[in-house]
Structures are given as C-alpha cells and as structure tokens.
Homo-oligomer: A and B are copies of this chain.
C-alpha cells in the first residue's frame, strides 16, 4: 500500500489535535495548517538523520512559530528520533514530558533552539546560517555544507526583530537560509487585516531576499517553491498560502483554532473529514513505516559524510570546535601575568580589548562584532577582518544598529556550534537585546555580551544612555553570569571565565572611563569566586566595603580614610554575584562574616540601583548608589553630584559609626 503525501501530512494533523486535546491546552491551528508544507520539506529537502540528531552537517530546522510545537514533536516522532515517544506526545504539556508547550532545545535533541518568543527563531536561524557559511570557508564543502530552514508565522514577521534579522541576512547574502512563511492571515485578535497592511514580499525583496509563493496545500506547488528557494543564491522567503487548522471542517480558517483545543465534537468532525479511522495516538503501521522511510533518507548521506570526516586532516579540530570545547588547558594566564608585570590605568573597555587580543589569537573559533559601536566597545582586534558576503572567513561582524538581531544571531551561532560568538553594545541598550539575553540563558548558549559605558561614568550623553537599573536587572536573569570588573586584571579574569563557560551566557559590564589597576600581585583567577577580599583591614575591622567595577577604586579610597582614623575596613571586590552565591558557606562566611551591624558595618558601593544590595549589606548596612535617572555632565561632576566619592561616602560611614 502506498501512502500519499496527504496521509503523511494528516498524521501530523491528527497527532497535533489529539495531543492538544489531551493536554486541554495548546495550539492546533499552526501544525494542521503547515502539515502539508512540513511534509514536503522533511520528505524531499531537509537533510537529517534521526539516528544522530547532533550530526554536524545536518540541515538546521527552526520552528520559529514555536507555539506550533506539536508540528516538530510530530515530525521528530514520525521520522524515527529516539525521542519523543508516542507516550511523550500523549503527555504533551504535562510535567516531565519533553514535549513542552514550546519547543525547548534542552528537552529534545532535534530541537535546534528554543522558540516561542516571536521573531527570535528566525533571527537565530540567521546566526546559524552565518556560522554555516563561516565554517564552510574554514573547513570546506566536505565537512560543512548544509541549509537552514525556518517555519515562521505572521507574528515572527511583524515583530521588530524580523527587520533586523532579515536586513542582516540580506546584507550577508545567506543563500542557504530559507524561510517558509505560514501565510494564514490569522492572528490571535482575528484577521491580520486588523493590524497590518504590509506587502511582506515587497519588504523582503527590499532587503535583498528572493521571494517565491505557493499554495501551502498543493504538494506539487510546495515542492516547486522549495526547489526554487533552494536554488536561488539569495536568502529565500517562501510564502505559503495556508488555511489555519486545515482539516478541521468548522473551525479551520478562523482564529478560534489558533490557541485552543478543537473540542471533542470538532475532533470527531475532523476525523470524519480526513477519513481518519484510528484512535488517538495510534497510527497504522503502513503510515509509520512510510514516515520511518523518510527518516532513513539521510543515512547514506550521513555515512558518506562520516567517511569524509574520517579522512579529513582537520578532523580533530573540527570536532573540537563543533563540540564547543576549548583547546586543552586554555587560559589567559600569560596575558594576566603581563598585566601584573606592567600595571595600566585604562578603562575596562580597553582592558577588554587587550584580553580580546589574547583570546582571538589563541582561539580561532571566536566571531566578534558590535551593533555599530565598534570604536566605543573596542570589540574588534587588530587582526580581525570583517565577515562579509564576499568573504565569510572574516571573524568580525558589523551587525549594524541591531542590538536585538545581533544577540539572537549570536544565540543561533552558539547553538549551531563551531563558533564562539561575542558582541558589543552600550550597557543601557541591553534593554533592546534583553529578550535574546534571556534566551541565551534558557538555551544554555555560551555567548558573551560585551557591554560598555556601564554607568554614569559615561558622562555627557545623559540619562538615556546611563545605566542605572541594568546591572541589577541582568543579575536577576537565571543562568546569566554578569561581570563588572574593577580593573584590567579583573577584566581579563572575567573574560577568561566567560570564555571557559561554554554552556551558558556571560555579560561583561565595562567602564568608559579609566580605572587604576588595583590588582598587582600574581595569583589565581580571583574573580572566579565572584567576590574576594581585595584589601584586608589593617586596624580592627569595623567595616566591610563591597563594591563592583569602577566603584572599587572609590571603596579603596574610603578604606584609606577610615584606616587613617583607626577604623579597620576590608574592601571586597564583587565582580560577579552569581559566582559568589555559588561558593560554599565557609568561603562566603570568610568574605562576609555574620556579625551585627554595630560589630561590622557592611557598605555597598555601586553606581546603580541600590535595590537588591540588602542581600550583602543586610538591611541595616549602608548602600551607596543611584536610585533615580542620571544626568548629562562630565563623569567626575556626576560622581560628585550623586555623592559617589570617597569623601562623601566616608563622611556617611563615619556618621553611622558615630564618629
């Protein structure tokens, strides 16, 4: 018995509607609407091998419209991936099932990235496609020669990040990137006519994309369009005209089928309309066999590729890089030693560029960039040339004024593997990139954010450009390591830690202004513990000053004034909260011993919000910071204006101590 393409597609439809019904929650409309397109893509175009979801040269498939997660769960199951099982699908959206509400890369191999926050899947795919072209130039066609396929919905296309992502893809001429747009004319509020009048195809064409359209329910037409997309040297948008919830006779085509179960009655009606006689989560063998055969398509390609890899001179390096592993014993020790030998008074953004010189020289996988602030972020090292459409071997990307697009692209690169992506902007514009920073953390993507101009210390640009709440609000994102180094040595240490962490993101908050080098003795990476005693009290310890970044210098000044009055004061530099919180109790107690405020007064100094610092100062300690927006003036005037000087702080500490 031959299985038709429609029957293959209907398997997706039925699994999707049944799983959503069983969960009493979910989005049946998109998987049912795009089942035909997905069937053609997976059966005729996508290069994949269910036996090895991590095959380095597989095509990447990104379901940017992540709410339609049952589409990819169905495809992974049907084509023979070990996971999800049919039971996992029956437990869709239940605690412990890898079939979560939205696709999560950490739940299932075969899910390339976590999607759901609209627009980001497509933007990550741009990063994946960039990494592919870059690695292709490094390792050659034999090892790296794959495509990136995306299914995106109207939401993905309306979000602002879409503009940034496709602008970058068009500029870099990422011809291996193909986006299948589920053009169903429906959003949650109703018809797309309620909110948009855009000619999407014309917009894509305006940014250098190839655009082709098809009837998303005509298998031959879909195949033609995908073939055209694959053949065109530009990135392609395939406009698939579809009916949302296709197959559901009464609710299909309406926004009612977008985000709610069909209900028992409509499920019966759909089964009847599709001539589907099988009960929920039971598929006939002929059908499952046909899908398994599709899954087996890639085996021989994969075997050939394995052979080429075995024969390849760069095999070890390729495998190291694709595993996102550092060379054995990699560190910045010799760079740090050189700083110790010759102390420097420089901005930490400049110290960062020195660290990057050492990093980029020793790690060929770094791929840097900036959202059009290269001369301010100091992110481009001397030997780095630009990655361009004409030469993908470059290791620096001019991302343009696209903070969010840059950050999402970096996530895609990290998840693709083979490159270590870092990118810069001003810290205040972390807000623009924040949804992608969150996804870095959720997805365990080892990207590094280089965020300079990290306080009022940037001076004259004023409150729109001065971070106040940013460092703290970033510390709160689970899984993100936020570093605020105090000098050149700490900057190198933090960079070393960020690079060494390949399973999650790091963010460096760096100063615009010069800072003295406070660390002058050789030692281990002291920033690794998140906080450490930089200066021990000389007189009897009555005060512990805890500071970060540019304010550590101020803390040292306060300590000196206190010691001059016979009041012992430790200075604790705390470049990274999350690392300090992860230390054992004995270490934390040593740095911040329990004591009553009248025994040891704890004082925090950070040129940002004081909310949150109670964690380390105790409520009865003192917190110096800025709990309002900044102002426009030279940096030194602002530090005075906001009371963040050694003199002003010492006076308040003395007052509290009753001196």
A206 to B117, CA, bound (A): 25
Q: Give the distance to chain B from A621, nearest Cβ to Cβ, in Å.
A: 10
* Contact of A102 with B465 in the complex, beta carbons under 8 Å: yes
The answer, yes or no, to whether A476 is at the interface (CB within 8 Å) is: yes
Roughly how many angstroms separate A400 CA and B619 CA in the complex, as a whole number? 44
Stretch from A38-46, A151-159, A548-556 that touches the partner: A151-159
Q: How far is the CA of A15 from the CA of B436 in the complex (A)?
A: 41
Contacts of A373 in B (CB 8 A): 188-189
Which parts of A87-108 form the interface with B (CB within 8 Å)?
Answer: 93-97, 100-102, 104
In the complex, whether A566 has a CB less than 8 A from a CB of chain B is no
From A140-148, A273-281, A493-501, A632-640, give the one contacting chain B.
Answer: A632-640
CA–CA, A475 and B405, complex, Å: 26
Partner of A199 from B115, B206, B398, B469 at Cβ < 8 Å: B206
- Any B CB within 8 A of the CB of A31: no
**Interface residues as binary, A171-188 with B (CB distance below 8 Å gives 1, 0 otherwise):** 100000000000000011
- Docked-complex contact B478 and A372, CB < 8 angstroms: no
Given contacts A187-B401, A612-B612, contact A631 B205 (CB under 8 A): no
- With contacts A93-B633, A400-B187 taken as known, whether A460 is within 8 angstroms of B23 at the C-beta atoms is yes
User: A475 is contacted by which of B404, B611, B629 (Cβ under 8 Å)?
Assistant: B611
- Knowing A197-B171, A205-B202, A612-B611 are in contact, say whether A401-B155 is a contact too (CB < 8 A): yes
Binding site for B on A (CB under 8 A): 23, 25-26, 66-67, 93-97, 100-102, 104, 114-118, 154-155, 158-164, 167-168, 170-171, 187-190, 194-200, 202-203, 205-208, 370, 372-376, 386, 398-402, 404-405, 428-429, 431-432, 434-435, 438-439, 441-442, 459-465, 468-469, 472-473, 475-479, 609, 611-612, 614-615, 618-619, 627-629, 631-634, 637-638, 641
- 5 example contacts (A-B, Cβ-Cβ < 8 A) are as follows A95-B634, A158-B167, A159-B402, A198-B207, A431-B434
Q: Assuming A93-B460, A189-B370, what are 11 further A-B pairs, CB within 8 angstroms?
A: A95-B641, A100-B631, A102-B632, A115-B464, A158-B401, A187-B372, A188-B374, A188-B375, A203-B207, A473-B476, A614-B615
Which 5 pairs between the two chains have the least Cβ-Cβ distance?
A: A160-B160, A195-B400, A163-B163, A100-B632, A116-B464
